[in-house]
Amino acid sequence: MVKIEDYHNDYENKWCPGCGNFGLLDAMKDALVNLDIAPRDILLISGIGQAAKTPHFMNCNFFHTLHGRALPIATGAKLANHDLKILVNSGDGDCYGEGGNHFINAIRRNLDITLLVHHNKVYGLTKGQAAPTSDMGFVTPQQPDGVRTDPLNPVKLALSLGASFVARGFSNNRKHLSRLIQDAIQYRGFSLVDILQPCVTYNKINSHAWFKKRAYDLYETDYQPDKLDEALFLAEEWEDKIPIGILYRKDSIPFHERIGQLKEGTLISRPYDAATIQEILSAV
């Protein structure tokens, strides 16, 4: 049996006390232990940002890549070894801003990976600039008169792009978030868990108390996440109440199962034939 200590390491952590990343890290470890997934069987991938540092604090395989580029790396890793469980940790700036194009196309491909987006509505690492999710009027050192653009609604975007598993969590409801992450990991296809979290230093509006007052648990209602129109309706709820749980789930065929050659096994299990590769490369 996998234990929580198996994921522990002593890497120095400099997140601010009270940062939502702590709850998310705990929930992620809890989910992996509950599913009995050993550190050697998973790969964590992240881009750049405070959120993207999450894999540093896990004793397992990880790949810390460029800003906004976690999903392309996850794509390559999944195609090379589709037996590997892959989780991506990305900030809302990293994923929906710099990595927005990759977000769109990862949904189209329906890779069997789990994308955990740390949604704090601000750029934390670079000291508080607006993120694509920042609300109109949000004041930052760079936008002293307030943001002048509408916020991106990531769950609505994902749903409208045809995403097959779309969920929303809250970093400070760890038990609920762990359950959500478990459901996402077990889903066969692309799973998005957009996770609301406070940034205690650069977002004084969307605090722990602000989210807690509004978040309500879909697991505790009779909501069935199988109708797109109802999911789109829930995706719009924000000002007074915010649903957390699985908004939408449908059966789908993951990308690696759409590729005939991969049915014979993973690419990394094939013999490496340098001479044939050289021949192909010389011909182009």
Ligand X SMILES: Cc1ncc(C[n+]2csc(CCOP(=O)(O)OP(=O)(O)O)c2C)c(N)n1
Distance of closest approach, residue 156 Cβ to ligand X, in angstroms:
19
Distance of closest approach, residue 283 Cβ to ligand X, in angstroms:
35
Distance of closest approach, residue 91 Cβ to ligand X, in angstroms:
2
Distance of closest approach, residue 50 Cβ to ligand X, in angstroms:
4
Q: Which of 16, 68, 195, 203 has its CA nearest to residue 128? A: 203
Q: Quick one: 123 or 170, whose CB is closer to ligand X? A: 123
Element (H, E) at 246: strand 242-249
**What is the distance between the alpha carbons of residues 153 and 270, in angstroms, rounded to a whole number?**
42
Distance of closest approach, residue 96 Cβ to ligand X, in angstroms:
8
Distance of closest approach, residue 210 Cβ to ligand X, in angstroms:
17
Q: Quick one: 124 or 154, whose CB is closer to ligand X? A: 124
> In this chain, which residue has its C-beta nearest to ligand X?
91
Q: Quick one: 126 or 221, whose CB is closer to ligand X? A: 126
Distance of closest approach, residue 181 Cβ to ligand X, in angstroms:
18
Local structure of 170: helix, strand or coil: strand
**What is the distance between the alpha carbons of residues 207 and 198, in angstroms, rounded to a whole number?**
5
**What is the distance between the alpha carbons of residues 119 and 108, in angstroms, rounded to a whole number?**
22
Tell me what percent of the chain is helix, strand and coil, each rounded to the nearest 5.
Answer: 40, 15, 40
Binding site for ligand X (CB under 6 A): 48-51, 67, 91-94, 98, 118, 120, 122-126, 131
**What is the distance between the alpha carbons of residues 193 and 211, in angstroms, rounded to a whole number?**
16
Q: Which of 269, 274, 251 has its CA nearest to residue 110? A: 251
**What is the distance between the alpha carbons of residues 102 and 108, in angstroms, rounded to a whole number?**
10
**What is the distance between the alpha carbons of residues 18 and 203, in angstroms, rounded to a whole number?**
12
Helix segments in 45-187, DSSP class H: 70-80, 92-93, 100-109, 154-160, 174-186
**What is the distance between the alpha carbons of residues 169 and 219, in angstroms, rounded to a whole number?**
11
Distance of closest approach, residue 217 Cβ to ligand X, in angstroms:
25
Q: Quick one: 70 or 235, whose CB is closer to ligand X? A: 70
Q: Quick one: 46 or 164, whose CB is closer to ligand X? A: 46
Q: Quick one: 124 or 254, whose CB is closer to ligand X? A: 124
Q: How many residues does the chain have?
A: 284
Q: Quick one: 91 or 189, whose CB is closer to ligand X? A: 91
Q: Quick one: 168 or 249, whose CB is closer to ligand X? A: 168
- Which residues are bridge partners to 244 per DSSP? 217
